[in-house]
Structure 1
């Protein structure tokens, strides 16, 4: 009986972290793409610099998108072409960030990450937005498959397609939910033997 409980607890705690995703935010013509991103708690965001200029990912104050750096917030430091910055977002909330190099932010190089469900009526340019606490780390495989939706700021907003968009508290896609259910059933069969 003790083995049964240990195995079930181990599967319950390991499954979400193993299935965490990594999402890429690229710099395209000096702007972040996507500018808004929906992720699950525990997912990683990776900012590869494939642009011709230096960029820095800097957390900004809560509320409307701004070019004001958040005291104590994350700061990637200058990233040259070919370098990247990655960060795990373990806590649900809303995180705003900017490009901290020169006048890039003033030209629109800002972004928002929604960790967990988006707050009702969430608008990165409204003052009701809050910021999440974050810590560094690395995640799993890079997700792809996205659709573009126009935003009120005339910059593209790209959100994950239904096949990759998280649909549960652990940020699992439908296929990952099926895989996790299969793993639980397999462990249940092993325990029953």
Structure 2
């Protein structure tokens, strides 16, 4: 019986990390692209700096997009060309951020990450939007490709939106179900 519980715990622990995706948010002409991103809990957002200037990714206060840094929020520190900042967002919520270098934020360098299902009527510039500090820096999951065009090239979903409520595509759901069935068969369920 101990093997049964251990095997199930292992699948429950490993499956989400295997299915997690990594999404790129590029800096194009001093602005974030895409400016809004929908991800699933557990996904990673990567901000590669391929722009000619320095940038810093700084979490901002809840509510409308603002240039006011959130006390205790994440801050990438100064990133020069060729450097990147990555962060895992493990729980659902809405996170606003800005470019924390100089006047970049005042010129429109702000963005919003919707982790999990987007709240009904969510508008990152409306006062009802909430924000939370989440995760730790890391990188894992699906491959992404940085792009200097207005829309980044992201694999596997070109829309930057998860395909289901939890961000799993049909093939990923089938993979997870298949793994669960395989483990179940091994342990005699």
TM-score by length of 2: 0.87
How far has the Cα of 1:181 moved from its partner?
1.0
How far has the Cα of 1:166 moved from its partner?
4.2
Evaluate the alpha carbon distance shift between residue 117 and residue 101 of structure 1 in structure 2; reply closer, same or farther with a 3 A threshold.
same
Unpaired runs of 5+ in structure 2? none
Check conservation: 2:59, 2:133, Cα contact below 8 A: no
Aligned position for 2:82: 82
Do residues 189 (structure 1) and 185 (structure 2) align? Answer: yes
Cα distance in 2 for residues equivalent to 1:163 and 1:57: 19
Residue by residue over 1:75-97, the C-alpha shift from the partner in whole angstroms, topping out at 9 and shown as x without a partner, is 11110000000111112100000
Aligned position for 2:176: 180
Describe how 1:95-174 pairs up with structure 2 within 5 A.
95-144=95-144, 160-161=157-158, 165-169=162-166, 171-174=167-170
How far has the Cα of 1:173 moved from its partner?
1.7
Residue by residue over 1:79-138, the C-alpha shift from the partner in whole angstroms, topping out at 9 and shown as x without a partner, is 000000011111210000000111111111100000111111000010000012213131
Cα distance in 2 for residues equivalent to 1:83 and 1:102: 18
Aligned position for 1:56: 56
Describe how 1:9-20 pairs up with structure 2 within 5 A.
9-20=9-20
Check conservation: 2:89, 2:135, Cα contact below 8 A: yes
Unpaired runs of 5+ in structure 1? 146-154
70-79 vs 12-21, which moves further? 12-21
How far has the Cα of 1:163 moved from its partner?
9.4
Evaluate the alpha carbon distance shift between residue 157 and residue 125 of structure 1 in structure 2; reply closer, same or farther with a 3 A threshold.
farther
22-31 vs 6-15, which moves further? 6-15
Evaluate the alpha carbon distance shift between residue 32 and residue 158 of structure 1 in structure 2; reply closer, same or farther with a 3 A threshold.
farther
Cα distance in 2 for residues equivalent to 1:166 and 1:92: 16
Check conservation: 1:20, 1:140, Cα contact below 8 A: yes
Evaluate the alpha carbon distance shift between residue 39 and residue 54 of structure 1 in structure 2; reply closer, same or farther with a 3 A threshold.
same
How far has the Cα of 1:144 moved from its partner?
5.0
180-189 vs 88-97, which moves further? 180-189
How far has the Cα of 1:180 moved from its partner?
0.7
How far has the Cα of 1:41 moved from its partner?
1.1
Aligned position for 1:42: 42
TM-score by length of 1: 0.85
Q: What RMSD, in angstroms, separates the aligned Cα atoms of the two structures?
A: 2.5
Please state whether the residue corresponding to 1:32 is helix, strand or coil. strand
